[in-house]
Structure 1
């Protein structure tokens, strides 16, 4: 099955990188970024904003800016690890027999960030939370393609992650930092800008170097660059991203 789509617009946020031109320059020479810095998230009321941790601020800022004044559409929030810092804090409290905060627990689940966005906007559109390991980006775009095929004119996809907290920090990549990016997708039936397919892993040429980038940023770099093809090998599968325009 070939999933075709076009990208109407995109937004990305990381410490020190908030504009498309800055991202384009950074992708040409990727380097580590500081972990400090938090989006203002002024679009959300102060009462709700106080409930949002750092990772959520990045995800919601990207979502708000990408959606802008556009009407409500289905939204997909995708993250490999989600707001795992909250979960680690809760586990530490359990280990020390400290009573858990119901609010902290409710905000630690994987769909909490999407729920806050829906509540803040008073939006009853379909919201989906996705986590699929190394294939999280592909799973998000597969879900978006299914929604477009089912009749949705547009779909907002939001990807976000941050370095893992201790004692899980050893699993973070060499260029891991808090970030989020969002794409406004449209069906590619009439004018496909991109396609995504899945092949057996042996049916692929050597994949280009990721330069140490996390999977999600490797895909974003491809989507906003002039590259014709990106192969992402995971186990026995190879996800193939292709540009058609």
Structure 2
């Protein structure tokens, strides 16, 4: 079992930008959809042009949870599929014998968005990019907890995904949505930043064991969004089974 405190949070999805909208959504959740893109005004226009929509979503939430002149906080970026649209662009080029774009390749790798964020901030601190199937959030939280156990006072956890290209529709095992959220986490007992947007301070415990029986059927939300709903809703617990593992979330345990 691991535990940590969520000191601050931020999230972005089409139609859901500020904290009040997200808290109302958590009480009556719906699947976000739409083509809107975050303004990402924290990034200069010349640099912003290089960042695709998925990256803008992730970086926007990270910027909201981190001061402009703050550095050295370890980063965990987590996405189940990453920037799969760029990967499809490369595959389509290869299928038609066109030379793949080096820029597209460089920005398609799984740690590209985390790298862009660290470059934009000129931050040479530790960052890692993870993917763990349906349990990507749980995998990322284990990574964050390990960094806290290794002595980091805080960790910035950024979770993001985008709808899959149509060619992958037959393989989808949960609803599609474009979204990103960020948690600023600390050890159990750490309090939220006074006056910070999205300050929480709730302690979360996560345990897991081998699951008996079949995985849970897909829910109405992507699992990563359901975890955010759990945090914002105030529910005492959340249980689910996926990829052969039973996961047990508890609040203030």
TM-score for the superposition, normalised by structure 1:
0.91
Alignment deviations for residues 42-73 of structure 1 (CA, whole Å, 9 cap, x no partner): 11122221111111110000111111344430
Q: Which stretches of structure 1, 4 residues or more, deviate above 6 A after TM superposition?
A: 207-210
1:159 and 1:227 mapped to 2: Cα distance?
Answer: 20
Q: How does 1:173-184 map to 2 (within 5 A)?
A: 175-184=175-184
Report deviation, 1:21: 1.3
* Cross-structure match for 1:41: 40
Match of 2:166, SS state, is: coil
2:240 and 2:177 mapped to 1: Cα distance?
Answer: 21
1:176 and 1:235 mapped to 2: Cα distance?
Answer: 18
* Cross-structure match for 1:197: 207
List gaps (5 residues or longer) in structure 1: none
* Cross-structure match for 1:23: 22
Report deviation, 1:224: 1.6
Q: Which moved more, 1:27-36 or 1:137-146?
A: 27-36
Count of aligned residue pairs for this structure pair: 241
Alignment deviations for residues 76-112 of structure 1 (CA, whole Å, 9 cap, x no partner): 0000000000000110011111111111100000000
Match of 1:35, SS state, is: coil
The answer to whether the 8 Å contact 2:5/2:189 transfers is: no
2:33 and 2:247 mapped to 1: Cα distance?
Answer: 31
Match of 1:167, SS state, is: helix
1:166 and 1:208 mapped to 2: Cα distance?
Answer: 24
List gaps (5 residues or longer) in structure 2: 192-201
Instruction: Assess, with a 3 A threshold, how the Cα gap between structure 1 residues 173 and 154 changes in structure 2: closer, same or farther.
Output: same
Instruction: Assess, with a 3 A threshold, how the Cα gap between structure 1 residues 11 and 160 changes in structure 2: closer, same or farther.
Output: same
2:30 and 2:175 mapped to 1: Cα distance?
Answer: 7
Alignment deviations for residues 154-189 of structure 1 (CA, whole Å, 9 cap, x no partner): 000000001101211344467422100000000116
Q: Which moved more, 1:69-78 or 1:165-174?
A: 165-174
The answer to whether the 8 Å contact 1:81/1:161 transfers is: yes
The answer to whether the 8 Å contact 1:30/1:211 transfers is: no
Q: Which moved more, 1:83-92 or 1:186-195?
A: 186-195
Instruction: Assess, with a 3 A threshold, how the Cα gap between structure 1 residues 173 and 21 changes in structure 2: closer, same or farther.
Output: farther
1:152 and 1:32 mapped to 2: Cα distance?
Answer: 35
Q: How does 1:1-245 map to 2 (within 5 A)?
A: 2-69=1-68, 70-172=70-172, 175-188=175-188, 193-202=203-212, 211-244=219-252
Instruction: Assess, with a 3 A threshold, how the Cα gap between structure 1 residues 60 and 222 changes in structure 2: closer, same or farther.
Output: same
The answer to whether the 8 Å contact 1:31/1:175 transfers is: no
Match of 1:107, SS state, is: helix
TM-score for the superposition, normalised by structure 2:
0.88
Q: Which moved more, 1:69-78 or 1:112-121?
A: 69-78
Match of 1:168, SS state, is: helix
